[in-house]
Amino acid sequence: MMQGWIGLVGALIMAAGLGGIFYLILKQNMTIGTKTIQFLAIAFILPLVLVLGIMNILGRETIGTIIGTVVGYVLSGIGKE
């Protein structure tokens, strides 16, 4: 039962992230840039990894690798600005 709730929360986080980007693009004429792609990567990958980890589809090593990769990708662009 708890897995279903966590899956629902993960799906809501993904939908909210995508909805926020659509809002900014349509209402404020924002362009899709590096920060937008990094935000979407976090908004989609981390909840998905959380749900798959709780359902025991992904192992601990795989979860650690994916989270490390996402954090490295997001933080790699900090010094360029």
Report the pLDDT value the prediction gives residue 65, as an integer from 0 to 100.
93
Report the pLDDT value the prediction gives residue 79, as an integer from 0 to 100.
67
Report the pLDDT value the prediction gives residue 16, as an integer from 0 to 100.
92
Rg (CA), the chain: 15
CA distance 28 to 19: 13
Q: What percent of the chain has pLDDT over 70?
A: 95
Report the pLDDT value the prediction gives residue 63, as an integer from 0 to 100.
92
Boundaries of every domain in the chain? 2-75
Report the pLDDT value the prediction gives residue 15, as an integer from 0 to 100.
92
pLDDT, tens digit, 9 for 90 and up, residues 40-79:
888 888 888 988 888 889 898 999 999 899 888 888 877 6
